[in-house]
Structure 1
């Protein structure tokens, strides 16, 4: 599927801001599941961004606006060709026991995904049986979370703790994804947070988040608990990490400016 993506982030400040340092995770992945055909990045005030690979091999752009400004505008345009991938091999859950040291980072707790809670009990989920299909269990968790929560953009904020989302039973894709991370890591299944775009389905104007779990013999495979779906050609991946903090669309700091007004616009269209 050929997809066109437009992502605008605009900050307007009541007072002059300066020394604005920012990092962007907006570059679509180019791998076996999707091919990046075009990528354009425009920043105003005009500045020259630098790119690098972060620890998780995501392409990150950073830039610095050192002169006074009252508006910061970041526009990204891309065209991506996505491909269908086969379902994972039906391997049993028990094969993961030998891989714990290899995937420690995606099994360990983080500030956003703490593991000292009994997530299975809080979410009414069972522990997988050693001989059952790992993919089948992952589909079961995906569907259970989809049916347990209500998608509501007003229920949570970007810094809402996972426990509050679980108690309130409503939130957005970021919350669904991190709840699934908590469950999978609690039972020894390596799982990582993914940020990207979705052409259709529930999401915030096309921006989306989901989970990739490691299935031996098939590699990292995507599951979307917000929409009760595996990752199809309608999904475009930008980056992955341990949780949201490793790959937000944009993060930064500045001096001055006052309380900013933020506008975000995302369009994902099938060509």
Structure 2
């Protein structure tokens, strides 16, 4: 499927800001599931961004605006060709038992995904049977979380604790994804946070988030509890990490400027059908 992606982020400052340091996680992944055909990045004030790979092999762009400015505009355009991926092999959950040290980072707690709560009990989920299909269990968790929560952009904010989302039973795709991370890591299934875009479905109006779990013999496979779906050709992946903090669309620091106003616009369009 051929998709176009447009992502605009604008900050407006009441006072002049300066020394603005920023990092962007906006570069779509180019791998076996999706091919990046075009990528354009426009920044105002005009600066020359630098790119590098981070610890998780995501492509990051960074830039520094030295002179005073009252607006920061970051505009990304991309064309991506996505492909369907086969269903994972029906390996049992116990196949993960010897891989814990290899995937420690995606099993450990983080500030956004703490593991000192009994997430299975709080969410009414069962632990997996060592003999059952790992993929089947992951589909069960995906569906259960989808049914357990209501999508409501006004219910949570960026820094709402996960426990508050679980108790309130409403939030956005970031919350759904981090709840699934908490469940999977609690039962020893390596799982990582993914940021990207979705052509149609709940969460397609902005940046989207889902989860990748490691399935031995098949690799990292994507699950979206917000839409009760595995990852299809309508998904465009940008980056992954332990949680949201490892791959936000944009983060930065600045001097001055006062309290900013933020404007974000995301558009994903299907340019052709499936191949």
| TM bucket, shorter chain | over 0.9
Q: CA deviation at 1:204?
A: 5.2
TM-score (normalised: structure 2)? 0.98
Deviations 1:133-169 (A, max 9, x none): 0000000000000000000000000000000000000
Q: CA deviation at 1:180?
A: 0.1
Q: CA deviation at 1:206?
A: 3.8
- In 1, distance between residues paired with 2:206 and 2:200? 7
TM-score (normalised: structure 1)? 1.00
Q: CA deviation at 1:205?
A: 1.1
Alignment-derived partner of residue 199 in structure 1? 199
- In 2, distance between residues paired with 1:212 and 1:199? 19
1:30-41 aligned within 5 A: 30-41=30-41
Alignment-derived partner of residue 210 in structure 1? 210
* Structure 1 stretches of 4+ moved >6 Å: none
Q: Give the aligned length.
A: 271
Alignment-derived partner of residue 112 in structure 1? 112
Deviations 1:103-147 (A, max 9, x none): 000000000000010000000000000100000000000000000
Does the alignment pair 1:263 with 2:275?
no
SS for the counterpart of 2:185 is helix
Alignment-derived partner of residue 153 in structure 1? 153
Conserved? CA contact 1:40–1:78, under 8 Å: yes
Conserved? CA contact 1:196–1:237, under 8 Å: yes
- In 2, distance between residues paired with 1:206 and 1:161? 21
Alignment-derived partner of residue 144 in structure 1? 144
Q: CA deviation at 1:52?
A: 0.2
Deviations 1:62-111 (A, max 9, x none): 00000000000000000000000000000000010100000000000000
Does the alignment pair 1:43 with 2:43?
yes
How large is the Cα RMSD of the aligned pairs? 0.5
Does the alignment pair 1:170 with 2:157?
no
Conserved? CA contact 1:199–1:206, under 8 Å: no
SS for the counterpart of 1:98 is coil
Q: CA deviation at 1:261?
A: 0.4
- In 2, distance between residues paired with 1:224 and 1:102? 24
Q: CA deviation at 1:234?
A: 0.1
Conserved? CA contact 2:197–2:204, under 8 Å: no
- In 2, distance between residues paired with 1:206 and 1:226? 13
Identify unmatched segments of 5+ residues in structure 1: none
Conserved? CA contact 1:39–1:77, under 8 Å: yes
SS for the counterpart of 2:8 is strand
Identify unmatched segments of 5+ residues in structure 2: none
- In 2, distance between residues paired with 1:199 and 1:46? 30
Q: CA deviation at 1:207?
A: 1.6
Deviations 1:35-82 (A, max 9, x none): 000000000000000000000000000000000000000000000000
Conserved? CA contact 2:23–2:251, under 8 Å: yes
Conserved? CA contact 1:89–1:217, under 8 Å: yes
- In 2, distance between residues paired with 1:212 and 1:204? 18
Conserved? CA contact 1:177–1:225, under 8 Å: yes
